[in-house]
Structure 1
Amino acid sequence: MSVSDKTRPNVLPWPPMLLGIAALASIGLGWLAPLPAPSARWVSLLGGALALLGLALDVWAILTMRSAKTNILPHRAADRLVTWGPFGFSRNPIYLANTWLLAGIGLAFGNAWFIVFALLSALAVDRLAIRREERHLAIRFGNDWIEYAAQTPRWLIR
């Protein structure tokens, strides 16, 4: 086993931790200091659709990683570079899905704190996880990673 096989991008699994913190903070602040989102029916429906889209993207990305027989935990070393399925249009479809899920919940239930924390958690995930994961993947997969990263946006658009 080489040195790069033993390395891992993070000690802590930041993305799921940040998702949980964002959800709990949104719920708590929703009770203590409500920040209402627009309450029109179409906004709630849009939010529900966005949350479902986020959930579907999460499941698709997880199943894609499992079919590739690679590690899914964000604080462990990558076994394989997955570039197909949802990873063909975003290098981070799970983190994108989590952001959509939080924002959708906020719109669906009229709690704008979810939208605020969706954006804050996406920024924190980018800094605490994605940048480190990308360094790990560059070391682990070399030119394959460089080519993939050049073709596929980090989130959804460049």
Structure 2
Amino acid sequence: MNAYRLKPLRYPWPPVLYALAIALAFFADRYVGILPAARGDGYFFITAGGLLVAIAIALDLWAVKTLLDCHTTVLPNRCAQRLVTTGPFRFTRNPIYLGYTLLTVAFGLLTGNAWFFVAAITAAALTTTVAIRCEEMHLLARFGADFEHYCQHTRRWI
């Protein structure tokens, strides 16, 4: 199979990585509990967490709508039909994963569980290693110089 037809991933790892990170944050808070709680003025953390949830969901929905409007796949284990550089993809090459990361941080603010901040950073790093680099190789093989130009002008995360 040539590189043009090669799938970016065999399995859609990012949602699994973030779900696992969230589960581990709950587990660590309950059974390890070493990190200081992110508790303080409850209204501030609830307001900030709620705002971050809204931003994360809006970003994910905007990215999914943009992909669907451009008639390409939303699933990370399917071949891209088009290089999407509009919508939230103008600002970040991975708005869906950024939304997942923001949502994980928001859970930390809402629950007062500092392990969520560690989980968000870990999940983002693993997603970069396991998924994003493979996806970028796929997009480079599919779209060549157009993807290189896009990478030069748009950050991977933020």
Normalising by structure 2, report the TM-score.
0.92
For structure 1, which runs of at least 5 residues remain unmatched after alignment? none
Aligned-pair identity (%): 41
2:74 is the counterpart of 1:72: yes
Q: Give yes or no for contact 1:44–1:110 (8 Å, CA) kept in 2.
A: no
Q: Which residue of 2 aligns with 1:146?
A: 148
| Count of residue correspondences | 155
Separation of aligned partners in 2, 1:73 and 1:104: 24
Separation of aligned partners in 2, 1:108 and 1:79: 38
Q: Give yes or no for contact 1:93–1:155 (8 Å, CA) kept in 2.
A: yes
2:17 is the counterpart of 1:15: no
- What amino acid maps onto 1:96 in structure 2? L
Specify the SS of the correspondent of 1:70: coil
Q: Which residue of 2 aligns with 1:37?
A: 38
Report Cα offsets for 1:38-75 as digits up to 9, x if no partner.
33221221122112211110111011111111111112
Offset of residue 13 of structure 1:
1.0
Q: Which residue of 2 aligns with 1:118?
A: 120
Which stretch shows the higher mean deviation, 79-88 or 5-14?
A: 5-14
Q: Give yes or no for contact 2:97–2:124 (8 Å, CA) kept in 1.
A: yes
2:83 is the counterpart of 1:81: yes
Aligned CA RMSD, in angstroms, stands at: 1.4
Offset of residue 116 of structure 1:
0.9
Separation of aligned partners in 2, 1:145 and 1:134: 9
- What amino acid maps onto 2:26 in structure 1? I
For structure 2, which runs of at least 5 residues remain unmatched after alignment? none
Separation of aligned partners in 2, 1:83 and 1:100: 21
Which stretch shows the higher mean deviation, 86-95 or 75-84?
A: 75-84
